[in-house]
Amino acid sequence: MGTPVEQTHDRRDPELSEILGERRHLTNLAYRLLGSLAEAEDAVQETYTRWYAMTRRQQEAVESPGAWLTTVAGRICLDVLGSARARRERYVGAWLPEPLPDRTEWFSGRSGNGGAEPADPADRVTLDESVHMAFLVVLESMTPAERVAFVLHDVFRYPFPEVAGIVGRTPAACRQLATSARRRVRDARASAAPAAGQAALVRDFKEAWEAKDIKALVGLLDPAASMTADGGGLVGTVLRPVEGGDLIAQYLIHIADKAPGLTLLERTVNGRPGLVAQHAGTTVTVAAFDFDGGRVTRIWAVRNPEKLRPWIEDGTEATG
């Protein structure tokens, strides 16, 4: 079933498939810019709405529809980021980006329609290093202009003159924005552990948590590790980061005692090994990890049910 924009136009239009073919690229861009799958989907929909609001003559005057769509989507995301800063100041507790599953693991939108186009936007987002939770969290620390300039140039390889047209700054100013953003990423980046080592570490972490083995958990956590949880005020969770491996281990054991029957599953979270916690068959938490020196250095636990759409089967609501 198509979106309202798609349904109002004749699919026999030879240019329609080309225009709609940009959706995957736009969704990838918008998710990296906004850190929210829901907001990315809205931004892409608004982009297409503006395209089809033009007359046929205006559309034909656009030399590169793909570039036009990218420019409009980038400007919409820039506006959303500006307003999001104020909204997130009022957010209950920490705000974390929406976690994404691997395309073989997502649930929401699975319709079995057999179409070539994935039914769910989560399946349109390419999982690479630019969507790792650690990377997205660093992007959150940037100003909207820094984030847009950096993502467009360093991730999607747009030249600075084109970035300038989207951000509304000079190419030189955009180069400075990207340089500043690049410095933030470099300062925050830990040494990457091999993928196999990450998976093994997450598996050991899962087993230690299930066994309520606090000594094993402490051994797997960096002494200076931190854990941030996002419940959005909709479910119970810590409102401030838990700092230190000992305190994190104690908190995890407390959670295991408080929620008997909690099931832990090894899943891919934003392209890296992570854990999904289910209670009574419903996903209640998605945890992403960062690693360094063979230990867990950061845990990001998303519990806000509004951010768990792709992890919830058959549209059931997350609880807990």
For 51-108, how does the pLDDT look when each residue is reduced to its tens digit (9 = 90+)?
A: 999 999 999 999 999 999 999 999 999 999 999 877 888 899 999 999 999 877 665 4
Model confidence at 120, pLDDT cuts 50, 70, 90, reads: low
Is the pLDDT at 317 greater than 60? The verdict is no
For residue 191, the model assigns a pLDDT of: 55
For residue 260, the model assigns a pLDDT of: 85
For residue 13, the model assigns a pLDDT of: 55
For residue 261, the model assigns a pLDDT of: 86
- Over the stretch 278-299, which tens digit does the pLDDT of each residue have? 988 899 999 999 999 899 999 9
Sheet harboring 295-302: ordered strands across?
A: 242-243, 221-230, 295-302, 282-292, 272-279, 263-269
**Whole-angstrom distance, CA of residue 121 vs CA of residue 126:** 11
Is the pLDDT at 207 greater than 80? The verdict is yes
**Whole-angstrom distance, CA of residue 131 vs CA of residue 268:** 12
- Range in 48-57, 80-89, 186-195, 263-272 with the lowest mean pLDDT: 186-195
For residue 218, the model assigns a pLDDT of: 97
Angle of helix 65-89 relative to helix 37-53, nearest 10 degrees, comes to: 140
Sign of the alpha-carbon torsion through 209, 215, 217, 220: negative
- Range in 144-153, 195-204, 210-219 with the lowest mean pLDDT: 195-204
pTM, to two decimals: 0.85
Is the pLDDT at 7 greater than 50? The verdict is no
Average model confidence (pLDDT) for the chain? 86
For residue 313, the model assigns a pLDDT of: 61
Amino acid at 175: R
**Whole-angstrom distance, CA of residue 7 vs CA of residue 33:** 27
How far, in Å, are 31, 34, 159, 215 from residue 91 at the CA level? Answer: 20, 16, 35, 35
For the stretch 113-122, contacts whose Cβ atoms lie closer than 8 Å and that sit 24 or more positions apart, written own/partner, are 113/1, 117/23, 120/310, 121/27, 121/31, 121/37, 121/40, 121/41, 121/44, 122/37, 122/309, 122/310
Contact in structure between 19 and 37 (CB atoms under 8 Å): no
- Over the stretch 22-66, which tens digit does the pLDDT of each residue have? 999 999 999 999 999 999 999 999 999 999 999 999 999 999 999
For residue 2, the model assigns a pLDDT of: 44
Contact in structure between 27 and 44 (CB atoms under 8 Å): yes
For residue 295, the model assigns a pLDDT of: 94
Closest listed residue to residue 48, CA positions, set 88, 3, 79, 91:
3
Is the pLDDT at 186 greater than 90? The verdict is no
Tell me, what DSSP letter sits at residue 13? Answer: -
For residue 14, the model assigns a pLDDT of: 44
